[in-house]
Amino acid sequence: MRVLNSWLHIPADSDFSLYNLPYGIFHTGDGKPRAGIAVGDHIVDLAAAAETGLFGKRRFFKKIFEQSTLNDFIALGKPVTGRIRRKVQAWLIQDSAPENAERLLANRLDAHMLMPVRVGNYTDFYSSIEHATNVGKMFRPDNPLLPNWRWIPVGYHGRASSVVVSGTPIRRPWGQIMPPGQDVPVYAATKQLDFELEMAFVIGKDSALGEPIGAAQADEYIFGLVLFNDWSARDIQRWEYVPLGPFLGKNFGSSISPWIVPLEALRPFRVKGPRQHPAPLSYLQTRGARNYDIALEVAIAAAEKSPQTIVCRSNTKYLYWSFAQQLAHHTVNGCNVCVGDLMASGTISGPEAGTYGSMLELSWGGKEPVRMADGGTRTFLEDGDIVTMRAAAEKNGIRVGFGDVSGMIVAGSAGK
């Protein structure tokens, strides 16, 4: 990959390098949502850039980029979205600052970020063998992995309406909980609120009902990736999940990072995934490197001004089932997908304790408290805790990051 330099100052350690250029929706206090591309500490205002004629078809692209989500832009297809990204990159690597530079740039650190896409459907997978095995050991010590796990990317359909952008507070949910040793449930606030460290992909192309998407075609349908926190209430989930799976223990909130990193920016970081045994059935078989080497971390702070404690460092390369296999399985029965649909990986855990992607694993079901930087401990999350996840890929001096996704836990309501 050739070395890129810009007239714009971009910090060397920025997630948003010239090799990244992710898409998001923002406003600058004027309440007018518009599309932008993050670069260093700035945002290239795509609506303003369209007005100058940078992309041609001024009125068309200005209207596209003044939408409150990226759905219409993404639906134009990768030949168009890729061309826009390359135009912006070319604008940034000129020898000197263009005359219109100030007009096209916003301060990213002062911008207000919004949901990047309108999520019509959301699916959550269970694709980390380390996570699935750890959870299985807690509840089924003699049979941690169920018989189907190595054959299919297990998943469930989640709730799209409660997917929120980073920074949105998360209310502690109430629900039915079965106390240990009792046979009658109680209605109470969850005592086992948890995070789940995940990566999610955004669908960039509609498919037709009845027509599966092959694993080899997946890149054609995946627009880009976001960092994802699928909050979980473990005690509510434990009581409700038999026989149909997660429901109220999961659908009260899921947080996404505001910037969508396009798949083409992540191409240099592709790696082979874990060896799959037994060999997958034909429709799930893939060739070459289909996983991504993206470093992940989770930090918890007890309050806004409290020190952060990094409780987990993991990596997307650990995923047993790749994004391509997840999408192929999701559609093998003819289920169609739509632009803006979101599909999350499930908790990403690694092989060692410090790489576990949830408090359930880090505290081993609450038996081993995690020590915090302020001297306290956690088994699960408490009100006031701020959970921040970060992700970045780095190779040969090239860095492509996701920024972060964060949320503060606030007390929930018991309802009426």
Is residue 414 packed enough to be buried (19+ CB in 10 Å), middle (13-18) or exposed (0-12)? Answer: exposed
Q: What are the C-alpha distances in Å from 87 to residues 9, 21, 74, 259?
A: 19, 11, 16, 19
For the question of residue 131 being annotated catalytic, the response is yes
Spot the catalytic one: 131, 277, 329, 330: 131
Both tokens of 75, joined, read 């639906």
Rounded to whole angstroms, the Cα distance separating 387 from 311 reads 10
Q: 259 with 225: CB under 8 angstroms?
A: no
Question: Which string of DSSP letters, residue by residue, matches 26-46?
Answer: EESSSS--EEEEEETTEEEEH
Rounded to whole angstroms, the Cα distance separating 256 from 406 reads 8
Q: What are the C-alpha distances in Å from 220 to residues 81, 213, 339?
A: 13, 10, 12
Rounded to whole angstroms, the Cα distance separating 382 from 385 reads 6
Q: For residue 1, how many C-alpha atoms fall within 13 Å in the half-sphere facing its CB?
A: 16
Rounded to whole angstroms, the Cα distance separating 28 from 145 reads 48
Both tokens of 99, joined, read 């005359």
Q: What residues are annotated to the active site?
A: 131
